[in-house]
Structure 1
Amino acid sequence: MSRKPWELAFTAEPVEVAALRRIMRLHLGIWGLQDITDEAQLCVSELVSNVITHVGLGTPATLAVSVRGTHLRIEVHDPDTRALPVLRDPSTDSSEGRGMALVDAVADRWGVLLRPDRKVTWCELATKLTAPDGHVEAPSVMRAEALLSLYAAAMPMPCRTGAGRVTSAVAEETVIAAITDFLHWLQAHGRDADDTLDRAQMRFEAECDALCEGA
């Protein structure tokens, strides 16, 4: 899976926080990293709120997101190199620095980079990836890969590769071929193929929602 770095310019306003959280959730869904959605959204909220509180409303800023190794990296860029994030004990009476304490609690690591024209506050979250371009090894995904490897081995070239493994170049076509054959099987056994597809879609969406809620 290709997970290309992306960035988005925004203005430091409270209304932008919810929008940035939604965008983060969308991208993590596309990247197959739904299990860290809550942590990533919290980090976005706190890093952006830090700019609003300590740099100022209306500050032009940028959210940049990438995968570094097997970690998700979240950066917020702003033009003030003097207002540095403060980490305080959340048990103290002062509310200042509590946002970064939350980031510190959920992130594997965080820090600040000072550039000539800007400050970059960043944090990294651990994922379940085994490689930057790999996928989270959820049981459902592993079962599907095992089935597709067997299915591809039974298909004629060029839908086969060495050792019967499915490559990214043919994986999607292999999935389509497998689903088509299952639809033929359902029809041959007097089952409603459309009803089965609808039920499968509903189950898939329910499992995705449960994963996001339980993350």
Structure 2
Amino acid sequence: MPVSSVVRPTGHPGYSETLPALEESADAARNLVRIALATWHLDELTDSGILLVTELVANAVKHTNTRSIRVIVSRPSERFVRIGVTDKARVMPEMAKPGDDLLTSGRGLLLIDALADRWGTDMYRWGKQVWAELHCEPAA
């Protein structure tokens, strides 16, 4: 599937790709994050960005029955990179609660919460986007 790029008000392009809602799509999502961060000279965020997008994709695939997802990597401001995954489900993600069995699953949002500087969910009429942001230093 083609990667699309759109120039944003910050002057940084945004990258997005529509992928099948399958576990294997995490590879393409990680590649998209790598490309965007390398283009923006933010290689120091690559490890965290890859972990975040992997968890976001896994959550969308596991907890929705949507047929496709869209991965979006953008710069909403000079100081943040946003990694989001949209799906067509209108169910809010839920953080694991104390006492939940976290040995085999349920750690996704806990990991996102630990890695991201901030994260959230934007609800739409047709579905939602779960996103996470990483802080970056603006270019000097």
Q: Which is bigger in relative contact order (C-alpha 8 A, separation at least 6)?
A: 2
Counterpart residue number, 2:3: none
The structure with the largest strand share of the pair is 2
TM-score by length of 1: 0.55
Alpha-carbon distance in structure 2 between the residues aligned to 1:99 and 1:67: 23
Flag structure 2 segments of 5+ consecutive residues without an equivalent: 1-9
TM-score by length of 2: 0.83
Whichever residue aligns with residue 53 of structure 1, its letter is: K
Q: 1:65 aligns with which of 55, 68, 73?
A: 73
Counterpart residue number, 2:119: 110
Counterpart residue number, 1:31: 40
Deviation at 1:89, TM superposition (A): 5.1
Aligned runs of 1:13-92 on 2, under 5 Å?
Answer: 13-56=22-65, 59-69=67-77, 70-82=79-91, 84-88=92-96, 92=100
Alpha-carbon distance in structure 2 between the residues aligned to 1:6 and 1:91: 38
The structure with the largest helix share of the pair is 1
- Give a deviation string over 1:18-67, Cα, whole Å, max 9, x none: 121022112211110100001111110000000111113x6211111111
Q: 2:135 aligns with which of 103, 110, 126?
A: 126
Q: Which runs of 4+ in 1 moved over 6 A?
A: none
Instruction: Give identity over the alignment, percent.
Output: 31
Counterpart residue number, 1:11: 20
Q: Say if 1:120 and 1:74 are closer, same or farther in 2 by CA, change over 3 A.
A: same
Deviation at 1:93, TM superposition (A): 2.1
The size of the alignment, in residue pairs, is 129
- Give a deviation string over 1:148-170, Cα, whole Å, max 9, x none: xxxxxxxxxxxxxxxxxxxxxxx
Q: Say if 1:97 and 1:75 are closer, same or farther in 2 by CA, change over 3 A.
A: same
